[in-house]
Amino acid sequence: MSEASGKQPVIEVTDMAKSFGSQRVLDGINLKVYAGEIMVVMGGSGCGKSTLLRHLIGSIAPDEGTVKLFGNDITKMSEKELDDVRKKFGILFQSGALFNSLSVGENVALLLREHTNLDEATIDIIVKIKLELVGLRKHTEKMPAQLSGGMKKRAGLARAIALDPQILFYDEPGAGLDPVTSAQINQLIIDLTKKLNVTSLVVTHEMDSAFMLADRMCMLDKGKILKMGTRHDFEVLRDRTGELKSEQERLVRQFLRGDAEGPITERQLASDYEEDLLMAHKRC
C-alpha cells in the first residue's frame, strides 16, 4: 500500500515533537502508515522509538504536532474518547505484560469481560480461537510463570488480538528470545497481519526482524526520521558497496549492516571526547 493509492492513512503523525526537560527526544516526526501494511520503526538504543510508540497509543501527549488514528487526532481527545479508540488497537509490550495471577486463558478473557457484553460461553470460544491463532490453545490453563519467554510473547499477542483490533503495535517483539523463536514470533506477526487484515507498526533495533517483517521501514536517529522507504529501498542501501556521498546514507547503511566502523561510531567517539573535555574543564 502506498501514498499513491490515494487511501487515507490509518496512522498519521504530523510535525510531532517531544522534549523531556532539555532533551528534545522527538524532533519533527512525519509518518503515515496505510491499511494492511507492516511498518517497522528502527533505530539505535535511546533514539526515541518507544517514546514515539507511546505517543501513538495515547499514553503521552506531544509538545507539538498531531497524532491521528483512523483520521482522528488523539491528542485532542478526552479520556473517554481515547478509551473508545484504544479498543480498536492492540499492543504487544516487550514483556508480554500478562497478569501473573491469571492463567493464559483468563488473561485473554479479562479484556473480553471488561470491554464487551458477551456471555461466558461465547468468551470461552473466542479465547480458544485467539489462543489457537498464536499456537497456545493447549496451554490455556498455564500460569504466566510456567511459560517460556516465547510462550509469554504468544500469550501477549493473544491478548493484543482479543478485541479484534484494526491496528497492532509491537515494541521489540523479538527481545530476549533466541533467533529461531524470534523468527517464529515474526512469522506469527506476518500471518496475523494478513489473516486478521490489521495494520501493524513494529518497533525494533534487530535488523533480521526488521527485514523479515517490513513492507515499509523508517529509521529514527536523534529524534528525526533519517530515511523512510520500502524494504527493498533499505535492502539496496544495505548492500551498496563503495563510498556513499551523503552522511545520512552512510549513517543508515552502518546501522543496517551493524558495522563497527562508520559515522555512528565517529559521532559517539566525538561526543565522548566532548564530555571528557567538559568534565576536565570543570575540574580545573
* Pure H helices in 165-262: 179-195, 207-213, 231-239, 247-257
Residue 20 Cβ vs ligand ATP, minimum distance, rounded to whole Å:
3
Q: Per the structure block, which three cell numbers stand in for 87?
A: 479498543
Query: Which residue ranges make up the site for ligand ATP (CB under 6 A)?
Result: 20, 25, 43, 45-51, 205
223 vs 205: CA distance, rounded Å: 15
Nearer to ligand ATP, 143 or 175 (CB): 175
Q: Per the structure block, which three cell numbers stand in for 132?
A: 489457537
Residue 29 Cβ vs ligand ATP, minimum distance, rounded to whole Å:
12
150 binds, among Mg ion, ligand ATP, none (CB under 5 to 8 A by kind): none
Nearer to ligand ATP, 92 or 161 (CB): 92
45 binds, among Mg ion, ligand ATP, none (CB under 5 to 8 A by kind): ligand ATP
205 binds, among ligand ATP, Mg ion, none (CB under 5 to 8 A by kind): ligand ATP
Nearer to ligand ATP, 41 or 126 (CB): 41
End-to-end CA distance of the chain: 59
The angle that helices 120-133 and 149-160 make with each other, rounded to 10 degrees, is 130
Q: Cα–chain-centroid distance for residue 154?
A: 16
51 binds, among ligand ATP, Mg ion, none (CB under 5 to 8 A by kind): ligand ATP
Query: Which residue ranges make up the site for Mg ion (CB under 5 A)?
Result: 50
Nearer to ligand ATP, 126 or 225 (CB): 225
* Pure H helices in 6-142: 49-56, 79-86, 104-115, 120-133
185 vs 41: CA distance, rounded Å: 17
Nearer to Mg ion, 50 or 181 (CB): 50
Q: Per the structure block, which three cell numbers stand in for 73?
A: 487526532
Residue 121 Cβ vs ligand ATP, minimum distance, rounded to whole Å:
41
Residue 267 Cβ vs ligand ATP, minimum distance, rounded to whole Å:
15
Task: Please enumerate in sequence order all residues whose Cβ is within 8 A of that of 231, keeping only pairs 6 or more positions apart, or say none.
Answer: 211, 214, 215, 216, 217
181 binds, among Mg ion, ligand ATP, none (CB under 5 to 8 A by kind): none
Count Cα neighbours of 65 within 13 Å in the Cβ-side half-sphere. 21
Residue 185 Cβ vs Mg ion, minimum distance, rounded to whole Å:
17
